[in-house]
Amino acid sequence: LLFATTIFILFYEADETSACDVPIEHPRRNRFAPSKIEFDSSTGLEWTVRLFLALILALPAPNPTTVTLLVGGKTFNVSAAEAGALLSIPDVVTGLGGNSRPQAGASLAIEVAGHRIVAADGVATAAFDNRVVNLSHPTRSFSGTLYAPWEFFEKTIFPAAGLSAEYERSSAKIRTHAGGSAAVALEVSLVHLDQMTQVVFRGSGPVASDTSSDRDQLTVAFKSPVVAPFLDKSFDDPLVSRIHFSENSAVLSLRAPDLAVNAYTLKAPDRLVLEIVRPASPGAAAPAPAAPSAPPALRTVVIDPGHGGEETGAVGPANIVEKDVTLDIARRLAGVLSRDAAVRTVLTRNTDTLTALDERAAVANHEKAALFISIHANSSRAAGAHGSETYYLSLAASDKLSEAVAREENAPAGPAPPSPDSGPALDFILWDMAQSAHLKESAVLAEAIQNELNALLNTGNRGIKQAPFRVLVGATMPAVLVETAFISNPEEARQLTNPEFRQSVAEAIGRAVAAYLRQHPPGASENP
Amino acid sequence: VTKRAAAIFLLLLAGSVAAIVLYARRGTPGRRPRRSGAVVRSRESAPLKVYPASSSPPPAEKTRVTLFFPSQEDGLLRPEARDVDKPPDAVTFTRELMAQLAAGPKDEYLAAAVPKDFSLRNAFVTGDGLVLVDFNVDPAWSRSAGSDEELTAVAAIVDTLLQNLAQTDRVKILVNGNEAETLAGHVNLLQPLPALREAVAPQNLEEP
């Protein structure tokens, strides 16, 4: 309609103009309307037409149906919808060398450079490596293909590919540049068992790297930018003395030259694992390792007073705080065990300071402890909750490897000695599943402690329990968490303020631990 | 003649503008369709409309959900059923479930499962059985909650979600937009959690 009108206007104007060119044929008009005015009028007409044409031109251009994606000199066509406001997810993903597949719930599972992204039809959020990304507009499906607003690509797909990108709606082009901020945040944990030290770099995304060693230095060059958890840290480990981060690499200082290194990556969560071992030497050719002090004659029990520092833990009536109760009971327990069980005791904290949860289990691992006992005081929203509870670790059902390890290690026949060169046997000391191998013994220890506490508090209703408590996860020995009493229960809170009661709790736990150690002599199944 | 021509052009211009305006108005939601069939057409011609479902009032169909709250007596979780508007998608359903959980129990025998200011920032259901929920958590609560309180909160969230959301089997809890080790120093959140059945009173255990 607009086009036809324009043509008509143009045509009509041409006719009028030619008529005006022959003034003799219009004497009357010339008389009443001077040519100057006519000329002005004609200009006004032209102006009107031009204005009209400009109006037409100013109308929105037809919606672009294709947008060009420029990646590293190559171009890809990306289907667009709604005037370029929505772009086809599969098209962009394909252009970036990733893949996408539809799955249940009208959602699309996307993999780009090892990152996992999930988008769902009509939903204004997306999952990016187990994080939720908020979008101001939802995705939308057109003929079975999922389209998303630019924001989705900006927040997920391009960062995953390590690219930064701009989308010019006017020219329908997406330009990409290398070096987006796909920095991977790292956490480092270190475990030593037998002749091996395992260093685990846990990343917020895939941890791709090249590893090279030069005598007593092991360099890990990360392929993507990383956020280091620290710049320099020393370790009291028999094989690794120090880890230093610089730029995108980590340098491990080893205590002996030419140690054998086995590096591999794991997914969910993303980890780079370095297994550092002394090279197998036949006979006694190798010099005796700089022994990390002779194996202690006494067995060690590591006692972990819960919370500390700014983390008060539960707060009860009359301002009784969990962190103080746990430290006091832990000290008393250490005294009881030293007196009665002939064991060496180590506290994960002996002052009012906050220690990281993984660090607490790491202390036990480093001390080659026979047992790890975390002391807590409970609190509940249920007014009637009372009594003590003893927990050991429950595994996440999704953690298949942990389950397999748990089955194998806790089988009635008893654990098989770990062989140094079989994969799964080494896997079990990965932090997330370190405790899996000791669940059966942990349950026995928990039961022994709970029986003593039930007798003390005269509460038989709360037995041993399993829960996914973080502090127990990394312990490579039988480990339990004791909830001594409910600080939220006025009567039990009153008891917990009484030093005699706290001593009797420590005595009860001490009796159970001493009995357990008697029944489980050294070398049975615990760490050397 | 020129004046007449100008008048005609202006008329045509006005007519065209009027036609454009009328054409554009067909797609706006303010104009009531005369026939029911026009609803569909008006939706199709509104290109920037991103929530098509909201333009027509949805029938208030209800669905029954099961929430878990700790009992006042022993702290173990008990189910409480209530009817909510049938959600259009899993994320809306997740938000509704968490809002209902945060609102607290109706039964006075039950206690709140999560702290008062515990709110859902974001949620996502990945389609392979995982539910991601991201909460605003008050750091003061994180520093002072006891094991049972934390375990109950986590179990109520996880069990409520897995009980009601079809084809889900694990929940990953995020805190203030990020992956977190724990909510309050005890329960491991670095791994997605399966149903925490041990926190539920035994007589109330049933398969989701």
pLDDT digits (tens, 9 = 90+) for A269-308: 778 888 888 876 554 443 444 444 445 468 999 999 999 9
Query: Which of A 341-380 lie inside 8 A of B, CB atoms?
Result: 357, 376-380
User: Residue A20: how many CB atoms within 10 A of its CB?
Assistant: 19
Report pLDDT for A227: 75
d(CA A109, CA A25): 78
Cα distance from B169 to chain A (closest Cα, Å)?
Answer: 9
Q: What is each CA distance from A367 to A57, A158, A187, A470, B156, in whole angstroms?
A: 79, 45, 22, 19, 37
For residues A261 and A276, is the Cβ–Cβ distance under 8 A? Answer: yes
Report pLDDT for A426: 37
d(CA A508, CA A409): 29
The verdict on A523 touching B (C-beta cutoff 8 Å) is no
Average model confidence (pLDDT) for chain B? 80
Cα distance from A132 to chain B (closest Cα, Å)?
Answer: 7
**Which residues in chain B are closer than 8 Å to A320, comparing Cβ atoms?**
none
CB-CB under 8 Å, A104 with B121:
no
**pLDDT of A414 strictly over 50:** no
Query: How many CA atoms does the CB half-sphere of A300 hold within 13 Å?
Result: 17
Which of the pair, A272 or B16, is modelled with greater confidence? A272
d(CA A220, CA A184): 14
**pLDDT of A41 strictly over 80:** no
Report pLDDT for A68: 92
CB-CB under 8 Å, A130 with B144:
no
Structure tokens at B132: 């991601």
CB-CB under 8 Å, A44 with B147:
no
- DSSP annotation of A370 reads S
CA nearest to B6 within chain A? A45
Structure tokens at A471: 């502090």
Cα distance from A284 to chain B (closest Cα, Å)?
Answer: 43
d(CA B34, CA A103): 40
Tell which phi-psi region holds residue B137, choosing left (phi > 0), alpha (psi between -120 and 50) or beta.
beta
Burial class of residue A61 (count of CB atoms within 10 Å of its CB; 0-12, 13-18, 19+): exposed
**pTM of the entire structure?**
0.64
CB-CB under 8 Å, B48 with A125:
no
Under 8 Å CB pairs connecting chains A and B tally to 234
CA nearest to B77 within chain A? A382
**pLDDT of A497 strictly over 70:** yes
DSSP, residue by residue, A16-38: HHHHHT-GGG-HHHHHHS-HHHH
Tell which phi-psi region holds residue A105, choosing left (phi > 0), alpha (psi between -120 and 50) or beta.
left
**pLDDT of A494 strictly over 60:** yes
Cα distance from B188 to chain A (closest Cα, Å)?
Answer: 4
Residue found by looking up tokens 């750091």 in the block: B139
Q: Which of B10, B91, B152 sits opposite A381 (nearest CB)?
A: B152
**pLDDT of A78 strictly over 90:** yes
pLDDT band at residue A427, thresholds of 50, 70 and 90?
very low
Which of the pair, B5 or B138, is modelled with greater confidence? B138
Amino acid present at B143: R
- Is residue A174 helix, strand or coil? strand
End-to-end CA, chain A: 90
Cα distance from A57 to chain B (closest Cα, Å)?
Answer: 14
d(CA A486, CA B146): 9
What does the pLDDT average to over A113-140? 84
Strand order in the sheet with A145-149: A140-142, A145-149, A86-88, A74-81, A66-71, A173-178, A163-168
Preferred mutation among A380, A391, A401 to probe B, highest tally of B CBs within 10 A:
A380
User: Residue A321: how many CB atoms within 10 A of its CB?
Assistant: 17
ipTM value, please give it.
0.71
CB-CB under 8 Å, A312 with B144:
yes
Query: Which of A 249-278 lie inside 8 A of B, CB atoms?
Result: 269
Report pLDDT for A11: 54
- Is residue B25 helix, strand or coil? helix
Query: Out of A5-9, A92-96, A467-471, B84-88, which region has the weakest mean confidence (pLDDT)?
Result: A5-9
CB-CB under 8 Å, A126 with B124:
yes
Report pLDDT for B15: 84
**Which residues in chain A are closer than 8 Å to B53, comparing Cβ atoms?**
122
**pLDDT of A401 strictly over 90:** no
Query: How many CA atoms does the CB half-sphere of B18 hold within 13 Å?
Result: 6
**pLDDT of A39 strictly over 60:** no
Amino acid present at A328: D
Burial class of residue A413 (count of CB atoms within 10 Å of its CB; 0-12, 13-18, 19+): exposed
CB-CB under 8 Å, B1 with A19:
yes
User: Residue A39: how many CB atoms within 10 A of its CB?
Assistant: 12
Query: Out of A52-56, A121-125, A208-212, which region has the weakest mean confidence (pLDDT)?
Result: A52-56
Q: What is each CA distance from A357 to A12, A19, A158, A227, A348, in whole angstroms?
A: 86, 95, 34, 21, 10
Report pLDDT for B29: 37
Query: Out of A234-238, A389-393, B55-59, which region has the weakest mean confidence (pLDDT)?
Result: B55-59
Average model confidence (pLDDT) for chain A? 79
Nearest to A272 by CA among A184, A213, A360: A184
Q: What is each CA distance from A145 to A88, A100, A384, A425, in whole angstroms?
A: 7, 11, 55, 45
Cα distance from A167 to chain B (closest Cα, Å)?
Answer: 18
What does the pLDDT average to over A30-41? 46
d(CA A36, CA A25): 17
For residues A451 and A377, is the Cβ–Cβ distance under 8 A? Answer: no
**pLDDT of B27 strictly over 60:** no
Report pLDDT for A459: 62
For residues A15 and A22, is the Cβ–Cβ distance under 8 A? Answer: no
pLDDT band at residue A105, thresholds of 50, 70 and 90?
low
pLDDT band at residue A263, thresholds of 50, 70 and 90?
confident
CB-CB under 8 Å, B151 with A376:
no
The verdict on A471 touching B (C-beta cutoff 8 Å) is yes
Q: Which of A311, A394, A396 sits opposite B185 (nearest CB)?
A: A311
What does the pLDDT average to over A387-401? 75
For residues A275 and A196, is the Cβ–Cβ distance under 8 A? Answer: yes
pLDDT band at residue A317, thresholds of 50, 70 and 90?
confident
**pLDDT of A61 strictly over 60:** no
> How remote is the C-alpha of A284 from its chain's centroid?
44
Nearest to A52 by CA among B8, B25, B2, B23: B8
Report pLDDT for A451: 92
Report pLDDT for A453: 92
CB-CB under 8 Å, A20 with B146:
no
d(CA A316, CA A489): 8
B147-165: pLDDT as tens digits: 999 999 999 999 999 999 9
CB-CB under 8 Å, A384 with B179:
no
Query: Out of A234-238, A352-356, B154-158, which region has the weakest mean confidence (pLDDT)?
Result: A234-238
**Which residues in chain A are closer than 8 Å to B143, comparing Cβ atoms?**
310-313
- Where does A62-145 have alpha helices with state H? 89-95
**pLDDT of A26 strictly over 90:** no
For residues A77 and A87, is the Cβ–Cβ distance under 8 A? Answer: no
**pLDDT of A194 strictly over 70:** no
Burial class of residue B76 (count of CB atoms within 10 Å of its CB; 0-12, 13-18, 19+): buried
CB-CB under 8 Å, A45 with B127:
no
Report pLDDT for A29: 47
Cα distance from A203 to chain B (closest Cα, Å)?
Answer: 12
pLDDT band at residue A342, thresholds of 50, 70 and 90?
confident
Cα distance from B171 to chain A (closest Cα, Å)?
Answer: 10
CA nearest to A465 within chain B? B198
**Which residues in chain A are closer than 8 Å to B112, comparing Cβ atoms?**
381
**Which residues in chain A are closer than 8 Å to B48, comparing Cβ atoms?**
82-83, 85
Cα distance from B61 to chain A (closest Cα, Å)?
Answer: 20
Nearest to A215 by CA among A255, A164, A184: A255
Strand order in the sheet with B119-125: B119-125, B130-136, B170-175, B178-179
For residues B133 and B173, is the Cβ–Cβ distance under 8 A? Answer: yes
d(CA A223, CA A444): 46
Report pLDDT for A273: 86
Buried b (16+ CB within 10 A) or exposed e, A445-480: bbbbbbbbbbebbebeebebbbbbbbbbbbbbbbbb
**pLDDT of A19 strictly over 50:** no
Which of the pair, A111 or A228, is modelled with greater confidence? A111
Query: Out of A422-426, B3-7, B173-177, which region has the weakest mean confidence (pLDDT)?
Result: A422-426
Q: What is each CA distance from A525 to A361, A440, A451, in whole angstroms?
A: 18, 11, 23
Beta bridge partners of A110: A100, A117
